[in-house]
Structure 1
Amino acid sequence: MKLASYTLNGRPGFGIVTEAGITPLTDRIEGISSLQELIEKDALSAAQAIPEAPSLSPQDVTFALPVGNPEKIWCIGVNYGNRNAEYKDGSDLPKYPSLFVRSRQSFVGNGVPLERPRVSEQLDYEGEIALVIGKGGRDIPREKAHEHIFGLTICNEGTVRDWLRHGKFNVTQGKNFDRSGAIGPWIVTADELDPAGDIAVRTRVNGELRQSDSTANLMFPFDALIAYLSSFATLSPGDIIVTGTPTGAGVRFDPPVWLKPGDVVEVEVDGIGTLRNGVADQEVGNA
């Protein structure tokens, strides 16, 4: 099942997405007012019981983040095997995942422009698969990890490259510019897309293929990430884990190729769909 959050005439809503359109679920499940609440209250079966009756087109709505206010957004760095070689530092494969966190405000939904900030021209793209946690927990064993995944979605983990180097030991600044990345357009539930399968991800900029790889090449597969994260932090329903990007980001071109206003970035993941966002400059006075 594909489940999306959106706004329609200024009102938030959520629903089931099919090729025929969107079946609204807003006000149709008792005690559930959002997709995030449906995840937190383990109410997927109630959504599955609603007869599909598409009454909206995707063009009618503005897609929002599938989970509107996740407690935690974990991001994994350098997780595809050939990305370690991309750094050309001769280092061995890592023993543990690289990890940082992002704020909810650093992401927009599908179709909403990414924002190139006033202070930098080095806005870059990173196409990734993201996991949405359904069942929370601490010290989750790897063999049980997939049971904690509600579903999968797509992320463009946009990065402001020169700000990654402002601090000596962190990348937080360059990863948390408001509206610099995107998540969406919807969540595909784990019963329809096997998290253990070989899932391909591709990124195109203005129609040009820039990134292409599959989860078969992950150094830390989804189950390993969940086990590792939950070894030190309790995972909560609605948490998002952004699982890493393949080679081919703009910073790796010679010279680097940065996103600019008017560009269109499309991240396509087999079994999910395509996350599509334009690029615009930060508006004057936009705080």
Structure 2
Amino acid sequence: MKLVRFGPRGAEKPGLIDDQGQVRDLSGHVPDIAGEWLDPARLQTLRSIAVEALPVVSGPQRMGVPVAGTRQFLAIGLNYRDHAEEAGMAVPPEPILFTKAVSCLQGPDDDVRRPRGAEKMDWEVELGIVIGKRAAYVEKDEAMAHVAGLVVCDDLSERSFQMERMGTWDKGKGCDTFGPVGPWLVTLDEVGDPQDLGMWLDVNGQRMQTGNTRTMIFDCATIVSYLSQFMVLLPGDIIATGTPPGVGMGKVPPVYLKEGDVVELGIDKLGTQRHVVRGWDAV
């Protein structure tokens, strides 16, 4: 299934995408794509609904973050071998964890805003994991049973805040609008092998990133298991799993986002995003 949340910001409704690409309204069956409805067992009940009987949502729709109630937005750094080479850094012996503020979450096609004082705003197409069932001390072979599905993420980053200011990476990762997610939450049965998904990102129509999840250092199951050793993962939590080569910081010379730039990105089977970079005070 491809699950969505559509409508104005703060008033999104749950829906799904049918075989013709139409949005169908699920609000008569579930209150939201959140909480207990993300449990793989509960998702199975949604598959029994006659899709053709659901109301078709007419006209263009804004897509919101396809999951509600996220309490933790976690991310893994340097998780692609070719990206580590690009950055001139050693392959890490275990996953590098940082966090993105939940307040940075936004829809896949919403404008993104350049923070005040930003000098080096960068892009990162990433595969996102959405937790569906509470996970604590989960073994690798059980990890994916705790996953509701997968999403596209753009791990937007302000490198000057991340690399040149005191403290951890987090302050360059959680700025407002720096977490576009969606357009869909795709359940694992429809994705197939999460370790063989092509991914790409363009800026102003120019291809910047091309990669495949097969070059991940730590695969999805390993990441879920690993993180569950340090914290309880909860339904709706999102984990961004790293980016392939082609980030602006790695270009020679570096290339960074400016106001008016258009960023487009996508991952096989998971859909695409498009956002325009605006100034901080843009309405």
TM-score for both structures, normalised by structure 2: 0.92
What residue in structure 1 maps to residue 94 of structure 2? 96
Of 94-103 and 33-42, more deviation after overlay is shown by 33-42
Q: 1:56 and 1:261 mapped to 2: Cα distance?
A: 33
- Give the Cα separation in 2 of the matches to 1:4 and 1:109: 10
Distance of 2:141 and 2:40 partners within structure 1 = 24
| Aligned-residue offset at 1:137 | 1.6
* 2:133 maps to which of 135, 139, 145: 135
Cα distance in 2 between the residues matched to 1:158 and 1:8: 23
Give how far 1:143 is off.
1.1
- Secondary structure of 1:35's counterpart equals coil
Give the superposition deviation at 1:88: 2.3
**Which range moved further: 44-53 or 247-256?**
44-53
Q: Tell me how far apart the structure 2 counterparts of residues 265 and 4 of structure 1 sit (CA, whole Å).
A: 21
Instruction: Using the TM superposition, give the Cα deviation of residue 215 of structure 1 relative to its aligned residue in structure 2, in angstroms.
Output: 1.3
CA distance in 1, matches of 2:230, 2:264: 34
Name the counterpart of 1:72.
72
Aligned length: 279
Note the residue ranges of structure 1 that are not aligned, 5 or more in a row.
none
Encode CA deviations 1:90-112: one digit per residue, 9 max, x unaligned.
x3x21111110111211210210
2:87/2:250 contact within 8 Å kept: no
8 Å CA contact 1:69, 1:104 repeated in 2: no
Kindly indicate which of the two structures has a greater share of residues assigned to strand.
1
Aligned partner of 2:112 in structure 1 is 114
Q: 1: distance between equivalents of 2:246 and 2:127? A: 15
Q: Distance in 2 between matches of 1:7 and 1:88?
A: 43
Tell me the CA shift for residue 142 of structure 1: 0.6
Task: State the secondary structure of the residue aligned to 2:190.
Answer: coil
1:222-275 deviation line (CA, Å, top 9, x unaligned): 111011101111111111110000111111122221112222211111111112
Distance of 1:106 and 1:88 partners within structure 2: 28
- How far does residue 196 in structure 1 lie from its aligned partner after superposition? 4.3
**Distance apart, 1:197 and its partner CA:** 3.9
Tell me the amino acid that sits aligned with residue 73 of structure 2.
I
Query: In the alignment, which of 170, 173, 178 is matched to residue 172 of structure 1?
Result: 170
Distance in structure 1 (CA, Å) of the matches to 2:102 and 2:167: 22
User: Could you tell me which amino acid in structure 1 is paired with residue 26 of structure 2?
Assistant: L
How many angstroms apart in 1 are the aligned matches of 2:10 and 2:217? 42
> Deviation of residue 40 (structure 1)?
5.4
Post-superposition shift, 1:45? 2.7
SS of 2:260 mapped into structure 1: coil
Q: Does the aligned pair in 2 maintain the 1:64–1:108 contact within 8 Å?
A: yes
Residue 12 of structure 2 is matched in structure 1 by: 12
User: What letter is aligned with 2:251?
Assistant: F
**1:126-165 equivalences in 2 (<5 Å):** 126-165=124-163
Q: Is the contact between residue 42 and residue 134 of structure 1 (CA under 8 Å) also seen in structure 2?
A: no
Q: 2:122 — aligned with what? A: 124
For the residue of structure 1 that corresponds to 2:75, the secondary structure is strand
TM-score by length of 1: 0.90
Gaps of 5+ in 2: none
Closer, same or farther in 2 for the Cα pair 1:222/1:10, shift >3 Å? closer
In structure 2, the CA distance between the partners of 1:177 and 1:11, relative to structure 1 (3 Å rule), is: closer
SS in structure 1 of the partner of residue 12 of structure 2: strand
Q: Percent identity?
A: 32
Contact 2:78–2:92 (Cα < 8 Å) also in 1: no
